[in-house]
Structure 1
Amino acid sequence: MKTETLFLLSVSILHIYTAKGLREYAFAAAEKLSELGKLDSKEHKGKTALLVAVTANQPDIVQDLLSLSADISICDVNGQTAVHVAATYGFPRVMQVILYAGLRVDLEARNFEGLTPLHCAVISHCATIKAINASSSSTWLADGSLQTQAEDKLMCLRLLINAGASVLSQEIKSNKTVLHLAVKEGNIHLVRFLLSLQLSNMQAFINMKAHGHTALHMAAGLHGSPFQEELIRLLLSRGADPSIRNLENDQPAHLMQSGDKGERVRGFLY
């Protein structure tokens, strides 16, 4: 019992040192646990020391733990691997450490929501952009942290794609790709980025369906979005097919709002 108590205490201490960014102490504790083959032991929330280090945005400690053979594939109680967590929080330095460590990283791993790390990065970026758009001018000028977060999350997206993450992957619940997710949220910044990628299968990517809807269908349904017209123009310029019908037999033009703006933009779709 005494040995078990000491072991649990060592695990707890490692997690505390890791969360606080105390690198030297964390390394010493991790080294001892590694010798015992217990480096990947989890705390009460299901996180290994590596997952704690990623969550705490401690790239140096992440590197140390990986050098001691921490398991990069272990997930937490939500099915999130270290890559999922780095993508969700938007920690590019941590992401770089993970991707450049020379390890075999599964970039298509699914969490319990059926999302790959790239999906998580897109959803997180969209949430930050939504927060920016909801902020008043005075708040925005006073706090540039949201913009920094958006830039960091976009960097994580770039790193994942450069490392080989597939933009064609569809999330499990509704079959959306990263493009569907970005268009659905009216995230013009991210859509511009995704459509700037040099993909050999760009048309296939743009015209993929999520429960019958292409990204163009989703853009046509963004009534009230200030970016609806630009999104539609961008998608069409990159090969979106306005003749495709969804499960209700509607083409994108049929989903446009009424009124002058709707009529004008609808003209692009015929």
Structure 2
Amino acid sequence: AKSEAFPSDLSPHLLGHSGPVNSNITNVPHASPENGHIAPQEHLQNLPLQGQLAPTAEVKMTLFHWQVQREAQRIERVSPELLNMQDADGDTCLHIAVAQGRRPLAYVLATKMAQCGSLDMKEHNGQTALQIAAATNQQFIVHDLLAHGAQINTRDVWGRSPLHVCAEKGHFSSLQSIWRTLMGTGQPIDIEMFNYDGLTPLHAAVLSHNAVVKDMRSLENICSFMAKELEQRTQKYVECIKTLLLMGASCGTKDLKSGRTCLHMASEEANVELLNIFLDQPSSLYVINVKTFSGNTALHIVSSLQNHKTQVEAVKLLMRKGADPGSRNFENDLPSQLVPEGPVGLKVRQILKGKYFHA
């Protein structure tokens, strides 16, 4: 077995690993007395380290520095061939260390693998160590890997970059770590990269936010705990969306399958929170009447919804921001012709005619 060829103290088995690295891991170990990462106080003195982590003379070493020193000593004589060896699932020791949240070990392994040009090795799902760190929301390991030269514009087998992964899962702390680490470094970030579903990271975050909003609307008599949990999930996606916009993502980019912008996607759930964010962007005047491949504007989509509590509010918002009720889709339909019957539909039609009122 491949794992038998790993150094005895670095084998996947002894790292606690069996089977492929799970990108959905959320509970990873952190430094604590229980898992053996706390150093005795007498060892927290100034010890020589290579590179940017070397502390200045007469300064006590931090816990993390001491942990890095210890891991560096453990694998000092391990050859590059063994460090780069992959198990049956394509995982290197670095993939496993990252998945388990072992930051000091991951730091040392990343240093060595960067020196031999193998930092971006991929496992069986095409994921680099950086993508594993993003998937498990380990912002500090994300920073370490990027600082060692890990590439941000890699794709896994689904065409997702680390930005897509953060956006899909609502991992805004890792997304912000990517932004802070790479800002000003000159390393280009392909913020508009499409995955194999034709979606940018911003599209992915909007659709994930929509899904939680839909769950909140469909659950009746929801308990306060569940309501709070869902609300927290929506806010994680909001933070991802705001971060992506600050990084330069465009809310006017169309997905490759249907030509929807983020505004169209938010309109599909009458997602007022996201509509407000996108319509406050400087580019909103140029985006609000953009059409999908079938000729529908965001106003067409919102107007056609049925049984949405926020439909009236969403239509009002779009109209106030300059949506054109006279725009026709490729079926020659006006937004008003798509409105369903009923009391809510009556209110929507009145708004589309320019009759604003408080409802």
Q: What TM-score, normalized by structure 2, do the two folds share?
A: 0.71
Which structure shows the higher helix fraction? 1
Task: Verify the 8 A CA contact 2:83 2:113 in the aligned structure 1.
Answer: no
Q: State the structure with bigger RCO (CA 8 A, min sep 6), 1 or 2.
A: 1
The aligned residue for residue 197 of structure 2 is 113
Deviation at 1:260, TM superposition (A): 3.5
Deviation at 1:198, TM superposition (A): 3.8
Task: Verify the 8 A CA contact 1:41 1:49 in the aligned structure 2.
Answer: yes
Task: Verify the 8 A CA contact 2:216 2:227 in the aligned structure 1.
Answer: no
The structure 2 residue matched to 1:247, chosen from 324, 330, 341, is 330
Deviations 1:167-187 (A, max 9, x none): 110000000000100101222
The amino acid across from 2:287 in the alignment is F
**Structure 1: which 5+ runs fail to align?**
none
The structure 2 residue matched to 1:258, chosen from 336, 341, 349, is 341
Q: Pick closer, same or farther for the CA change 1:142–1:257 going to 2, 3 Å.
A: closer
The structure 2 residue matched to 1:89, chosen from 138, 146, 169, is 169
The aligned residue for residue 290 of structure 2 is 208
SS where residue 8 of structure 1 aligns?
coil
The aligned residue for residue 175 of structure 1 is 259
SS where residue 108 of structure 1 aligns?
coil
How many residue pairs match? The answer is 268
The amino acid across from 1:263 in the alignment is L
Structure 2: distance between partners of 1:45 and 1:151: 29
Deviations 1:29-55 (A, max 9, x none): 111211211110011111100000000
The amino acid across from 1:214 in the alignment is T
Residues 43-52 or 10-19, more deviating: 10-19
The amino acid across from 2:277 in the alignment is F
Q: What's the Cα RMSD here?
A: 1.9
Residues 4-13 or 156-165, more deviating: 4-13
Q: Pick closer, same or farther for the CA change 1:51–1:214 going to 2, 3 Å.
A: same
Structure 2: distance between partners of 1:133 and 1:155: 21
The aligned residue for residue 157 of structure 1 is 241
Q: Pick closer, same or farther for the CA change 1:73–1:53 going to 2, 3 Å.
A: same
The structure 2 residue matched to 1:231, chosen from 293, 310, 314, is 314
Task: Verify the 8 A CA contact 2:202 2:249 in the aligned structure 1.
Answer: yes
Structure 2: distance between partners of 1:36 and 1:92: 31
Structure 2: distance between partners of 1:130 and 1:263: 23
Deviation at 1:139, TM superposition (A): 3.3
**Which structure's CA Rg is the greater one?**
2
The aligned residue for residue 192 of structure 1 is 276
Task: Verify the 8 A CA contact 2:288 2:323 in the aligned structure 1.
Answer: yes
The amino acid across from 1:8 in the alignment is M
The aligned residue for residue 156 of structure 2 is 76
The aligned residue for residue 72 of structure 2 is none
Q: Give the ranges of 4+ consecutive aligned residues of structure 1 lying more than 4 Å apart after TM superposition.
A: 1-6
- Seq. identity, %: 38
SS where residue 57 of structure 1 aligns?
coil
* 2:109 pairs with 1:25: no
Deviation at 1:118, TM superposition (A): 0.7
Deviations 1:18-74 (A, max 9, x none): 011110011111112112111100111111000000001000000100111011111
The aligned residue for residue 7 of structure 1 is 84
The amino acid across from 1:120 in the alignment is A
SS where residue 86 of structure 1 aligns?
helix
Q: What TM-score, normalized by structure 1, do the two folds share?
A: 0.93
Structure 1: distance between partners of 2:312 and 2:136: 40
Structure 2: distance between partners of 1:240 and 1:260: 22
Q: Pick closer, same or farther for the CA change 1:172–1:30 going to 2, 3 Å.
A: same
Deviation at 1:250, TM superposition (A): 0.8
Deviations 1:192-223 (A, max 9, x none): 2222x141x43321111012000110011002
The amino acid across from 1:124 in the alignment is S
Structure 2: distance between partners of 1:239 and 1:205: 10
Residues 61-70 or 254-263, more deviating: 254-263
The aligned residue for residue 100 of structure 1 is 180
Deviations 1:206-264 (A, max 9, x none): 11101200011001100211111111111101100100111111111111112333233
